[in-house]
Structure 1
Amino acid sequence: MRGTVWAVANQLGVVASTPTELLSALLSGPPRTVRLRPAGQDPDGIAELARVLAEFGHLRVLVEPTADGPGHDRPVDPADPEAVCSADPVRITSAYETADEDHGGLRTAWLRAGQSLIREQPPAGRALVLLAALPAEAQAHVRRALTRLSEGAPWSVEWSRPGPVAALTVSADGLVAADPTGGVRTHGDDVPRRSTASRVKAVAALDDTVLLLDERGRLHRYGGTRTPLTKAVAATLSSHPGTALAAAADTVLVGDRMGSVHAFTLAGVHQAALHSGRVTALAATASPVLSVHSGGADGTVQVWTPEARRRRPPVTERPYPVVALHCARTPAGHALAVAWADGLAELHRLGTREVLAFRPGPAVRAVAVTPDGALAVGTDDMLTVLRPRRDAAWPVAVPVRPPTGPS
């Protein structure tokens, strides 16, 4: 059942692990056609999922018979990383759903990252996703095997840490992660330190101060000192809530639900209407001049310089809302990290159309680019740092325009 839910979620561009999560995600969008392919799945479970999805009248459900290919019935050792990465992912999912053993951490990792693993991909790609999803207590031989198997993937896993991540940024002290309850942790901290925020939506670093935006759109400060600028921004957001947050140099940037971005400085405020609908993410750099990237519910990533009047074309666009952004200058040039609502994280080389992608499986809540060019990806239960391999080919991104109507 879980494998079918993941496959349907991938088909329709949402993130879901259970029928309830899938139904909730689909009901919030336009009417759709859902195709269920029952190969390797329990027929009774498929029929039940079809009934649940169809009874709301919002979805057209088609059950498509799929013939099993040759060799699919051969047993696979669920404790063998190489066999697991090469086998039919639907059957591996079914095996792990009913397994009593964790098989050195493979079962936990597979059930955590399954929506990514169920996709068609080479074994090296599956090994990379499994390696990133391994629990801390995974057996060493499993970790070594997955590291070896993932050598053909464009990323290597630098480190991972369990725990929920709501937002990421980079300060002078390194990577900063905020959890949903307002805990703030920099790389090297054993435990989060409490802030005044709760239900954190975004985090930004301004000199020695960490700024947090909560789900009500209010600004909170962690560490550092209260300045006239942060005081003015906080006062503004108390009556006009923000939806996204970033900071660079002497500027605090805030997005709003109408699609506008506001750049607050002590000299005044610049603003621009950049999106159709809510601004969902912001990122900014200040070298040599302030450059702002904004993401929206409209599925576009825009770039804006407050002093410039000319409107530039989108940096990238897809038919899914942008979830998070972060931009940094790296030894290879400026890089932009983008997270999308369908569970995709991307690292873009700005000034080119080159991009590397990674899907951890769960919904991506936050991304950040480290100063040395690594990509940090935060989910509801894991923070993972990935490094592009030196010999990795960076594909050229082809922008995909959002659909104009239901499919």
Structure 2
Amino acid sequence: MRAAVWELANQLGVVAATPGELLSAALLTDARRTVRVELPSPHPRDVTGLVDSLRTLGHLRVELGTRPSPAAGAARPAPFDLRDPAAVCAAGPLGVTAAYEAMADGDDHGGLRPAWLRAGQSLIRDQEPAARALVLLAALTDGADPRTRDTLKELAAGADWSVRWSRARGDASAPWPGPVAALTTGGGRLLMADRLGTVRSLGAPGEGTPDRVTPGGPRVKALAALTDGRSGDPTLLLLDERGRLHVRGAPAPRLVTAVATTLERHPGTSLAVTAGAVVVGDRTGSVHAFGPQGLHQEAPHSGRVTALAAVDAPAPLVYSGGTDGTVRAWSPGGPALRDPIARRPYPVVALHAAPTPTGPAVAVAWNDGLVALHRPGPGRRDGAARHFRPGPPVRALAVLPDGSLVVGTDEALVCLRPR
């Protein structure tokens, strides 16, 4: 059943692990469209049932087609060692999924089985064994057999990324900080908010172990950190699920108080800060930069602004993502850049940016589970990016000062370094 859900979710452009999640995600799809779903033949009975359920949604017209299914990829018991990372990464993913799902003995196969079942929607896509090894490595918990981890590292040497560190549900040596709702950086630290508004400082950006905790409050949608350029803890700004602004830490500056008052009447949908401004997105596609010199506004999106990021060097630059699938850049007080930084036919769900010596690095995640890191630099063609799919839905991103990327989901926090 898992493979059927993952296959259908990939073709619908959503992330789902269960039939219920698949139907919910498809129901929230805005566009009325016809979707032709092509699955290996013969179709398992549960696949036909799922497609029939999707057809009842009304705004989707689902057509079921077939494609050839190579023997190695068929959903049948695997004729290879399911404890061997190299064999698992090279085998047909539908066969691996069927074999792991059919097991009832509780054997985790060196950590491979739970990792595969966690990240399977990414793993069943067509890809090289090195890319599959990277996804499995990022999904391992610290209870996995060290030999499994070492082998996956060797297999993933040819991938676009290396795993710098990870923290996951089930880890014992580094307790899981909880489902990630928002990430940012501030005061030289990586900051993480969970769904209930508890903010954890994860030490230096190169570490993944919580060392400070700010108690919870409202359910959080976005997190930003105001720093005054001096040492000490940043002032935390949290946007709750109702679009209201909350302040933790030092007393709120007058500007922040004014923005919070405004959002009481006109709720925001996303949040970011620069050295001199608080930036808020709204449901109509507009971005508002509240600064000492007044209010600057731009309307870069059709539909809700779902994510914001900002950098200060050499001048303030705001990045926005929306339900229209685009990421655009804008300097408050100036015109928005004509061409988008990125565009895909799926809503943007997370965004973060950080300055580098050659220009800002921008990370973006879309609703279908894809993460992209755009890095400027000599010899890189416009729009070149590193891509990663963790498997579960991406909730938040953070670009660290050294260029590493932190990806947050409901089950893991993973730090990747681009090669």
Q: Same fold by TM (over 0.5)?
A: yes
Using the TM superposition, give the Cα deviation of residue 69 of structure 1 relative to its aligned residue in structure 2, in angstroms.
2.7
Amino acid at match of 1:210: L
Query: 1:106 aligned to 82, 104, 112, which one?
Result: 112
How far, CA to CA, are the matches of 2:155 and 2:267 in structure 1? 47
Q: How does 1:255-274 map to 2 (within 5 A)?
A: 255-274=281-300
Residue of structure 2 equivalent to 1:50: 51
How far, CA to CA, are the matches of 1:59 and 1:274 in structure 2? 28
How far, CA to CA, are the matches of 2:8 and 2:160 in structure 1? 26
1:200 is the counterpart of 2:220: yes
Using the TM superposition, give the Cα deviation of residue 78 of structure 1 relative to its aligned residue in structure 2, in angstroms.
1.2
Label 1:180 to 1:310 Cα distance change in 2 as closer, same or farther (>3 A).
Answer: closer
CA offsets 1:97-127 (integer angstroms, 9 cap, x no match): 1223111111111111000001000000000
Q: Which moved more, 1:181-190 or 1:280-289?
A: 181-190
CA offsets 1:237-274 (integer angstroms, 9 cap, x no match): 11111101001112111111111111111332111111
Identical aligned pairs, as a percentage?
A: 56
Q: Which structure 1 segments of 5+ residues have no match?
A: 390-407
Residue of structure 2 equivalent to 1:190: 210
Q: How does 1:345-364 map to 2 (within 5 A)?
A: 345-350=371-376, 352-364=382-394
How far, CA to CA, are the matches of 1:273 and 1:57 in structure 2? 31
Using the TM superposition, give the Cα deviation of residue 45 of structure 1 relative to its aligned residue in structure 2, in angstroms.
2.3
Does structure 2 conserve the Cα–Cα contact (< 8 Å) formed by 1:344 and 1:359?
yes
Residue of structure 2 equivalent to 1:298: 324
Does structure 1 conserve the Cα–Cα contact (< 8 Å) formed by 2:82 and 2:88?
yes
Query: 1:138 aligned to 144, 149, 165, which one?
Result: 144
How far, CA to CA, are the matches of 2:164 and 2:213 in structure 1? 24
- RMSD of aligned C-alpha atoms? 2.0
Using the TM superposition, give the Cα deviation of residue 227 of structure 1 relative to its aligned residue in structure 2, in angstroms.
1.2
How far, CA to CA, are the matches of 2:220 and 2:336 in structure 1? 33
**What is the TM-score when the length of structure 2 is the normalising length?**
0.87
Query: 1:336 aligned to 362, 378, 386, which one?
Result: 362
Q: How does 1:299-318 map to 2 (within 5 A)?
A: 299-309=325-335, 311-318=337-344
Label 1:310 to 1:83 Cα distance change in 2 as closer, same or farther (>3 A).
Answer: closer
How far, CA to CA, are the matches of 1:57 and 1:326 in structure 2? 35
How far, CA to CA, are the matches of 2:144 and 2:358 in structure 1? 34
Query: Number of matched residues?
Result: 388
SS in 2 for 1:47: helix
Label 1:298 to 1:65 Cα distance change in 2 as closer, same or farther (>3 A).
Answer: closer
**What is the TM-score when the length of structure 1 is the normalising length?**
0.90
Query: 1:371 aligned to 393, 401, 408, which one?
Result: 401
How far, CA to CA, are the matches of 1:76 and 1:40 in structure 2? 23
CA offsets 1:274-316 (integer angstroms, 9 cap, x no match): 1111111111111121111111111111111112146522111
Residue of structure 2 equivalent to 1:79: 83
SS in 2 for 1:16: coil
How far, CA to CA, are the matches of 1:224 and 1:89 in structure 2? 51
SS in 1 for 2:365: strand
Using the TM superposition, give the Cα deviation of residue 226 of structure 1 relative to its aligned residue in structure 2, in angstroms.
1.7
Using the TM superposition, give the Cα deviation of residue 67 of structure 1 relative to its aligned residue in structure 2, in angstroms.
4.8
How far, CA to CA, are the matches of 1:311 and 1:36 in structure 2? 38
1:94 is the counterpart of 2:98: yes
CA offsets 1:203-236 (integer angstroms, 9 cap, x no match): 1111021211111011111223321111111111
Amino acid at match of 2:296: H
CA offsets 1:125-155 (integer angstroms, 9 cap, x no match): 0000000011221111111111111001010
